Amino acid sequence: MGVFSSLATLGLNNFVVRELVNQPEIVADTLGTAWLLQTLGGIVAAAAAIAAIFILKPHDPVIQKYIIILSTLLLIKPIEVIRYWFESQVQLKYIIWVENIILALFSTARIILILISANLTQFIWLNFAECAAVAMGLLWIYQYKNKNIFNWKIKFSQAKIMLGESWPLICSSVAVMIYMRIDQVILGQMLDNQSVGIYSAAVKISETWNFIPLAIISSMFPSIIQAKKQDTAHYHQLMQKLFNIIALISIAAASALTLFADSVVTILYGDAYLEASNSLALLSWAGLFTNLGCASGKWVAVESYFKNALLRVVFAAMINVAGNIILIPKYGIQGAAMSTLLAYSIANWLSLAVWSKTRICFRMQSKAIIKLGGII
């Protein structure tokens, strides 16, 4: 589903936020048009997800039912363009409050379902309800700020501009989700569902803290856009500061998860999942490059280097697919983690050194990593 959800968003988030900051006079046009494009993308993505599961699992009606239910979520997600407006106004704290309250409520509900030994179908419907609750929460907080989605306008001329400038982002977002999730697909085909479950546990743990750097990146993005227009030196200083912060947080988290991987896995999932600890250590360091990639994604949006980003992530996706095919038969789920670490480091760091235009970003990232976020 991750691959198809990226198709639904069309990779427009950074582009839309940039336009909201640069052209505040046409906010209604930008939000309305982005919502329409993402709704159409959601319809296509939902249809593709359903078609894919019937092809991959033709004799598994239970999985088919679950995918059909989850696919409908892709039709709800476009309302998340509201988040882009809050991000452009540096007011993400309101969104975070709403999402954290909903997360707490539904996490409690999941614990209750576990205690009563609920079946998988009930968990699927709970996920559906959570997504719907987030959408309602976004609408409510938008109304609270005296905004109204019925004021949005759909401009087909604006849609043409959006698609014309951001089509590499659409392709990039699909390629990113492929190289981020293809390891689990290949594991399921080459090994078994148990291996996928163990590996997925490691992935989930490694990603639990990512909301912190993502929130920092989003909060600094509007300032970076403004700095680019006003002062190149200040713009570069802000980017370096962002990379320093992200590197520091990521290295600290990866170090902690590496040292305490066994304990963390045992506490959260039990001894049955202890095999996930080695993969967790590798995936934690992959998180460093994932977060640096999210930060450099803002730089790409400001500089409009979308085609370059597409080339880099497509190459990384190819590396990850080949790495999984080669390493999984020999190392099992650890092979998938090795391949992921390699692909992430290439896509989000090393590949930036290849092109002259992106080399400055590579140097800033390298400086942040080597100096441990500016501490050393």
Per-residue pLDDT of 294-342, as tens digits, reads 899 889 888 888 788 888 888 888 888 898 899 988 888 899 999 999 9
Residue pLDDT, tens place only, 246-282? 999 999 999 999 999 989 888 888 888 888 898 999 9
Residue 2, pLDDT score: 56
Residue 163, pLDDT score: 80
For 202, residues 6+ apart whose C-beta sits below 8 A from its C-beta are: 265, 276, 277, 279, 280, 283, 333, 337
Residue 237 pLDDT exceeds 90: yes
Residue 179 pLDDT exceeds 70: no
pLDDT band at 358 (very low <50, low <70, confident <90, very high): very high
For 212, residues 6+ apart whose C-beta sits below 8 A from its C-beta are: 249
pLDDT band at 33 (very low <50, low <70, confident <90, very high): very high
Answer yes or no: are the C-beta atoms of 201 and 269 closer than 8 Å. Answer: yes
Please state which of the ranges 8-12, 55-59, 157-161, 286-290 shows the lowest mean pLDDT: 8-12
Burial of 300 (0-12, 13-18, 19+ CB in 10 A): buried
Distance, CA of 7 to CA of 46 (rounded, Å): 9
Residue pLDDT, tens place only, 72-130? 888 888 888 898 888 888 787 888 888 888 888 888 888 888 788 888 888 888 888 98
Residue 48 pLDDT exceeds 90: no
Dihedral of CA 49/50/55/57: which sign? positive
Dihedral of CA 171/298/372/231: which sign? positive
Q: Encoding tokens for residue 147?
A: 């905004």
CA proximity to 43, closest of 11, 80, 72 = 72
pLDDT band at 3 (very low <50, low <70, confident <90, very high): low
Question: Tokens 């954290």 belong to which residue?
Answer: 100
Helices 211-230/13-22 angle, 10° precision: 40
pLDDT band at 1 (very low <50, low <70, confident <90, very high): low
Distance, CA of 15 to CA of 13 (rounded, Å): 5
Residue 374, pLDDT score: 53
Question: Span 192-206, mean pLDDT?
Answer: 83
Distance, CA of 275 to CA of 169 (rounded, Å): 36
CA proximity to 32, closest of 89, 83, 87, 79 = 79
Distance, CA of 320 to CA of 54 (rounded, Å): 25
Average pLDDT over all residues of the chain = 85
Answer yes or no: are the C-beta atoms of 158 and 19 closer than 8 Å. Answer: no
Distance, CA of 287 to CA of 300 (rounded, Å): 19
Distance, CA of 127 to CA of 31 (rounded, Å): 26
Q: Encoding tokens for residue 322?
A: 């080949």
Q: What is the DSSP string of 245-284?
A: HHHHHHHHHHHHHHHTHHHHHHHHH-GGGTTHHHHHHHHH
Q: Which one-letter DSSP state was computed for residue 79?
A: G
Question: Span 173-185, mean pLDDT?
Answer: 73
Distance, CA of 267 to CA of 166 (rounded, Å): 43
